[in-house]
Amino acid sequence: VLDETHRADLRSWVASANTPTTDFPIQNLPLGVFRGGGSETPRAGAAIGDQVVVLEALVRLGLVEGAARDAALLCAGGTLNALMAAGPDARRALRGGLVDLLRADTAVGARARAASAHILVDARNVEMLVPASVGDYTDFYASIHHATNVGSMFRPDNPLLPNYKYVPIGYHGRASSIVASGSHVVRPSGQSKNDADAEPTFGPSRRLDYELEVGAFIGSGNRLGHSIPLADAEERMFGLCLVNDWSARDLQSWEYQPLGPFLAKNFATTVSPWVVTMDALAPFRAPAFTRANGDPRPLAYLASPSNESAGGIDIQLEVWIRSERMRRESVRAVRLSRVRFTEMYWTLAQLVTHHASNGCNLTAGDLIASGTVSGPTRDSRGCLLELAWRGTEPVTLPTGEQRRFLEDGDEVIFRGFCEREGFARIGFGECRGTVVGPGDTTAITS
């Protein structure tokens, strides 16, 4: 639902929020958890321009009241879980309160501006943390382009399995190894086996990859044994982030049968730290994927007219890379691909409803990732496995270096944003991670 908070002409007294290129205008106000800026205790905040609004300071100084104050108080524990659990009304009340006090043209805004030294910290001076305590992390496989590309490498005659167009395929990932943007990722070791060899060997992965994904944080969940009808699924999502589901392809191809990926995935998953609320994304809703002629209709529990007309979200996603040599030679990061999130075969609401359709209980703070977002063209492929086509079409960097898979020192940067005529640009910030060598465990920040 669009309301006053989505008006494109809103201006903030925080000047950096009014530049057209910012990810964080007053219409966005994504929520996150940070350390620093005067306190080593994790605190919750909202991004505005190049600043962070400290929620506990707003409460302390009486700059929020009523339901907005109650919602801000829910973040006192240093995670967003309690706010997520409180449901969409609490989240919207906080959004309304924040917009009011950050506006350039309100009385409370004038008071907030006068107190700005006490409520704002410079985003450059804080360390962003994983915004929620993630109880369970689920990864889906919702891009038909990705599933078809990967399937065709391993099963040329039968790229897409018979269940794909009926079942939103997903599996459980590892919650403990979810790390915040900026954390280094240690190259994992594991078993792999070449077709030519009789036996597998154990050693550092030689086929390390990124996966460009979008993640949804669950807000109010469901009780065990109860499901979530598709009509309710949108309200159960709190907000979205970018996810890099790092993958070791050589480990994966040897281990994944018959129970799916395990050590190939669970060594690290990076999330962007700012959770863009479903409210901020309201202007960018789009139709669900247009199924091809002959594709089956979704089963009844996964079908609704409103999901079909507006279940999608038009997020533009980008993958950038910067190698160690590029950093050394002061060469800027280069974009590897870009893709729209509307390319996904299943909507996020369908993923949520499917997940709970057997009575599985979803809990506030659970992270549900989309699976690799790939489009139909080469430059819209969301992982190196696809982009370099299993190593057969290497990518060339500006330095002349070639990439089949990731090398130590490579920094991978995801960006995401929504743009639509008549609305402010809503950005996700960045999801960054640098690969370090297998012994290099000193640099880990998790």
What is the maximal distance between C-alpha atoms in the chain?
Answer: 75
Q: How far is the CB of 276 from a second copy (least distance, A)?
A: 24
**Which CB sits closer to a second copy, 219 or 416?**
219
What is the nearest approach in angstroms of a second copy to the Cβ of residue 263?
4
Residue 176 or 377 having the CB closest to a second copy: 176
Percentages (nearest 5) of helix, strand, coil residues in the chain? 25, 25, 50
Residues that bind a second copy in the complex, under the rule CB under 8 A: 135-136, 141, 151, 161, 163, 166-167, 169-177, 179, 186, 188-191, 193, 199-202, 223-227, 248, 251, 254-263, 266-268, 296, 299-301, 354-355, 357-363, 366, 441, 444, 446
Identify which of 109, 118, 129 has the alpha carbon closest to the alpha carbon of residue 55. 118
Q: Measured between alpha carbons, how far is residue 287 from residues 210, 257, 284, 345, 367 in Å?
A: 28, 35, 10, 11, 23
Q: Are 91 and 277 in contact (CB under 8 A)?
A: yes
Residues contacting 216, CB < 8 A, separation 6+:
237, 238, 239, 240, 348, 351, 352, 367, 368, 369, 370
For a second copy, the closer of residues 51 and 192 by Cβ is: 192
The residues carrying an active-site annotation are 146
Smallest gap, in angstroms, from Cβ of residue 80 to a second copy? 18
Nearer to a second copy, 170 or 427 (CB): 170
Q: Which residue in the block uniquely carries the two structure tokens 């005067």?
A: 38
Structure tokens at 413: 């940067």
* Residue 381 C-beta: closest distance to a second copy, Å: 18
Closest approach of Cβ 12 to a second copy, in Å? 38
Task: Tell me how far, at minimum, the Cβ of 138 lies from a second copy, in Å.
Answer: 8
Rounded distance, CA 442 to CA 423, Å?
44
Least Å distance between CB 432 and a second copy?
A: 17
- Measured CA to CA, the distance from residue 217 to residue 236 in angstroms comes to 9
Contact by Cβ (8 Å): 100, 58: no
Report the residue number, 189 or 316, with the smaller CB distance to a second copy. Answer: 189
Q: Which is nearer to a second copy, 100 or 213 (CB)?
A: 213
* CB contact at 8 A, 58 and 111: no
At residue 202, what are phi and psi to the nearest 5 degrees? -110, 130
Q: Which is nearer to a second copy, 87 or 135 (CB)?
A: 135
Q: Which of 211, 208, 212, 201 is nearest to 186 (CA)?
A: 208
Two tokens, residue 13: 């007294």
DSSP structural state of residue 168: -
Residue spans of alpha helices (H) in 54-178: 55-60, 66-73, 81-85, 88-102, 107-114, 116-119, 144-154
The contacts of residue 34 (CB under 8 Å, 6+ apart) are: 42, 43, 45, 52, 121, 126, 127, 128, 129, 273
Look-up of token digits 């994927």? 289
Give me the least distance between CB of 151 and a second copy, in Å please.
8
Q: Which is nearer to a second copy, 96 or 190 (CB)?
A: 190
Cβ(48)–Cβ(14) below 8 Å: yes
